[in-house]
Amino acid sequence: MRKIKFIFYCLPIIMVALFSCQKETDLCPELYREYLSVELTSINNKVEDTIYQIQIFNSQDKIFEQDCNLIYSLFGESSEIVLNAEENLVNMRIPDDPSLGYLNIQGGGQFTKVSNINILDWKDKSLQDLENGDYILQVTLFIDDPFSPHNLVSSNKITFKKN
């Protein structure tokens, strides 16, 4: 009789708890790499050029709206990161607080940014402090979505020659 009372009282409580709880991590994570791509090109097609064009493409018919950063990485000959820089990527402002914004790319659209790597705020040292030689430049789109395992979308790599 005690078991029946226990089950009678506990079962509804357990059922309510199970149906009312839904973790946010149970939702399907956004797979950004399936429809976003990043392309890095030199404006003048010279390896010693410091002005680059970054294009972010949205290949699907869905609107992309997220808080994003661009991470610039300069790699040395042995593939170690020599320099890193980061900048906020915004093309839409929030009306209530214009200091805040996000990246908006309509379905099938693209966003283009021209960047001079000489004036980026590089961490630890500047571009001028590098020794002369060949380096590899890559840009990564960081999407501020902690629930997605695909919140980094990297560009192609380009050779940069420091003279």
- What region, left, alpha or beta, does residue 33 occupy, with left being phi > 0 and alpha being psi -120 to 50 degrees? alpha
Q: Which two tokens stand for residue 105?
A: 């790319």
**Distance between CA 89 and CA 73 in Å, rounded?**
16
Q: Could you tell me if residue 3 is inside a domain?
A: no
Domain region containing 136:
28-162
pLDDT digits (tens, 9 = 90+) for 16-72: 544 544 444 456 788 899 999 999 999 887 767 789 999 999 999 999 999 999 999
Residue 83 exposed, middle or buried by CB count within 10 Å (0-12, 13-18, 19+):
buried
Whether residue 18 lies inside any domain: the answer is no
pLDDT tens digits for range 113-160: 999 998 999 998 888 888 999 999 999 999 999 888 889 999 999 999
Asked whether residue 145 is assigned to any structural domain, the reply reads yes
Domain presence at residue 63: yes
What pLDDT does residue 5 have?
60
Q: What are phi and psi of 30, to 5 degrees?
A: -75, 130
Is 4 part of a structural domain of the chain?
no
Tokens for 103, please give them.
């990246």
Is the whole model's pTM more than 0.75, yes or no?
A: yes
Residue 152 inside a domain? The answer is yes
**Does 136 map to a domain?**
yes
Amino acid at 110: Q
Count of domains for the chain = 1
Average pLDDT of the chain, as a whole number:
84
103, 64 Cβ separation under 8 angstroms: yes
Asked if residues 122 and 85 have their Cβ atoms less than 8 Å apart, the reply is yes
pLDDT of the residue at 8: 58
Residues 6+ apart with CB under 8 A from 140: 38, 70, 71, 73, 152, 153, 154, 155
In this structure, is residue 21 part of a structural domain?
Answer: no
Q: Identify the CATH number of the domain in which residue 117 sits.
A: 2.60.40.3880
